[in-house]
Structure 1
């Protein structure tokens, strides 16, 4: 099973290469930017678990010059030009907050902030999450991209084959929340990673708790960079469990309204890792832990309850919109899968196809596909390095030309083998796209 997962693009080498490429692309884009926002890639791309065109790219854009502080946290050490908000969690669901403006004002308040400020009935100034998203949507459109309907805090967009979920956020300093997380008794992560996650701080994103009377003025506390770090220090078996559980949700349960998401599965795996000795997660125990993960997923659906890994009082299943009929169907399906043990994997289309084509065709194709993706990631960042001030790429760069040439050779090789084995697909552009899915 571990061999199959490696062949499907989930091995440690390709995962690390993807993570490095997205971090480098963030660095290049931020260096080219105007300094008003900082871009951070999160989600499956930052985890190194999806191909270039395989799924949406999750990006957060952090508005600079703004800091949100827990009550009681001293703001004296912040730069004088910082605009400070305080977290008002009193009337909000766990993990959510309102943002009240402090007396400390920045020299220049960004317009994306200024135009989302409101006053309550007592004249106190606060930041509206709904207005913030509307302003961000109006001020950040790019001519070459297509904007789609808002989804929670995200402003989805697409440009060619790239689909991105763009979330604008603010930095948050919440030492009390992070210290509660850090002080838990745990098997994992190790102390140095715990300390590193704490130093990364948090963010607030413009989305309230579903069903809240005040959700248009509420913000959600998130730990995107810390979670990126946690996911990167899972071992191979834990990563494979995460990937397989995501496949179960996507290909077997098939939620239509995001009643269960990849984020639900991520939190299940993080809890499993924290509560069990790391040495128990190995290749020979993969099916055991897959069954444990399925059981945790079944329990979350049955009880409509799953504590958020960073803030356990927040229930990730709260207001998920799961009705009784769907709940019963999913519980029965997962129970059947738990009883099937290894045959569970035959329900997953990608795993089933890999088993059928293993070993020689799968190994051969995987070698070509991985090389293609590594080249494409290299090209992506190389082109960014060599754009002029007008955004035009220098195509005469020898490295860019060499990458284009090798990509063309790979696509032709794959087409020749496909044709020998009976495929009638000859469109090189389409084959190239499919290899990066």
Structure 2
């Protein structure tokens, strides 16, 4: 009985700190709705998409927590093999090929396959064996203050404080396909999460953020796989 009363007290205390179950769900839905509307407006200009991640998107409002954002250009698409290029109109999309053959697990090199109109991408490119690869370190440096001026580098993000709130935002690239190296994860999902959540996660692919493995062979050019959308869906369940 003492343990039960203690658990109830802890639960009530957490509700005061982070909000009740219903409040957290409502916050998540409001954030998702706001994100959807924002991206619809952005997509009409065919520029960038945005996603909120971290504790804010999960519905928590903790004192001292920061705001985590991800941005990616809608017309730049990463693919795992050339067959996937058939899905896109090459007159409207810039294709980037993922190469994980010489990188640690979870990291890739991004080869620029077609021309780009974005100076930030072109200026971040480096040649390796007559092929153009997008340098993560250069891209991170170039885009660090692109959204909010005077931001400082913090991992793969531009970081700072705005209106009393700390923020981290990362410029990344999107891939509509689930990574080949992560295919075994799908087979491990037997009892949890439920199949419809697994299908949704796999169908939405992944992102690549501008940071390399410290022990990687090409650490300044490597990009880390990010599964922020998967984390959001798993947490909600």
* TM-score, normalising length: structure 2: 0.85
**Larger helix percent:** 1
**Count of paired positions:** 224
Q: CA deviation at 1:211?
A: 3.2
CA offset at residue 71 of structure 1?
Answer: 3.5
Q: Note if contact 1:179-1:198 (Cα within 8 Å) is conserved in structure 2.
A: no
The answer as to whether partners of 1:130 and 1:207 remain within 8 angstroms in 2 is yes
> CA distance change for structure 1 residues 225 and 214 in 2, over 3 Å: closer, same or farther?
same
How far did 1:175 drift? 4.7
Q: SS in structure 2 opposite 1:174? A: coil
Report what 2:3 is aligned to. none
Ranges of 4+ aligned residues in structure 1 off by more than 6 Å: none
- Is residue 18–residue 48 contact of structure 1 (8 Å, CA) maintained in 2? yes
Name 2:39's counterpart in structure 1: 30
Which residue does the alignment assign to 2:4?
none
| Counterpart in the other structure of 1:165 | 168
Query: Gaps (5+ residues) in structure 1?
Result: 234-437
What is the distance in 1 between the residues matched to 2:145 and 2:159?
A: 13
Map 1:191-230; keep pairs closer than 5 Å: 191-230=195-234
Q: Distance in 2 between matches of 1:70 and 1:160?
A: 40
Which of 131, 150, 154 pairs up with 2:153? 150
Root-mean-square deviation (CA, aligned residues, Å) is: 2.1
Task: Say if 1:117 and 1:125, in contact at 8 Å, map to a contact too.
Answer: yes
The offset of 1:213, in angstroms, is 4.3
Mapping of residues 219-298 of structure 1, within 5 Å: 219-233=223-237
Q: Take 2:207 and 2:104, find their aligned partners in 1: how far apart are those partners?
A: 17
Q: How has the CA–CA distance of structure 1 residues 185 and 137 changed in structure 2, closer, same or farther, with 3 Å as cutoff?
A: closer
3-state SS in 1 of match to 2:216: coil
* Superposition deviation, residue 47 in structure 1: 1.1
For the residues of structure 1 that align with 2:83 and 2:178, how far apart are their CA atoms?
Answer: 8
Distance 2:197 2:83 in 1: 24
Other-structure match for 1:135: 142
State the SS of the aligned residue for 1:157.
strand
The answer to whether the 8 Å contact 2:144/2:153 transfers is no
C-alpha contact 1:178 1:198 (8 A) present in aligned 2:
no
Matched, 1:48 2:52: no
Q: State how far apart, in whole Å, the 2-side matches of 1:191 and 1:46 are.
A: 23
The alpha-carbon distance between structure 1 residues 92 and 55, as it changes in their structure 2 partners (threshold 3 A), is same
Change in Cα spacing, 1:138 to 1:125, as seen in structure 2 (3 Å) is same
Quick check: 1:174 aligned with 2:171?
A: no
Pick closer, same or farther for the CA change 1:3–1:73 going to 2, 3 Å. Answer: farther
In the alignment, the residues of structure 2 paired with residue 27 and residue 191 of structure 1 have an alpha-carbon distance, to the nearest angstrom, of: 24
Whole-Å Cα distance in 2 between the matches of residues 72 and 65 of structure 1? 17
More strand by share: 2
CA offsets 1:129-181 (integer angstroms, 9 cap, x no match): 11111221253334xxx52x311101112211222100010002335345322
Listed one character per residue, the Cα deviations across residues 268-320 of structure 1 (whole Å, up to 9, x for unaligned) are: xxxxxxxxxxxxxxxxxxxxxxxxxxxxxxxxxxxxxxxxxxxxxxxxxxxxx
Q: 1:184 to 1:88 in 2, by over 3 A?
A: same
User: Does structure 1 residue 113 correspond to structure 2 residue 121?
Assistant: yes
| Match of residue 70 from structure 1 | 80
The structure with the larger Rg is 1
Q: Measure the CA separation in 1 of the matches of 2:59 and 2:174.
A: 24
Task: Indicate if the aligned counterparts of 1:99 and 1:219 stay in contact, CA closer than 8 A.
Answer: yes
Gaps of 5+ in 2: 1-6
Structure ranking higher on relative contact order (CA contacts 8 Å, 6+ apart): 2
Partner of residue 61, structure 1: 71
Query: Equivalent residue for 1:124?
Result: 131
| Contact 1:69/1:174 (<8 A) preserved | no
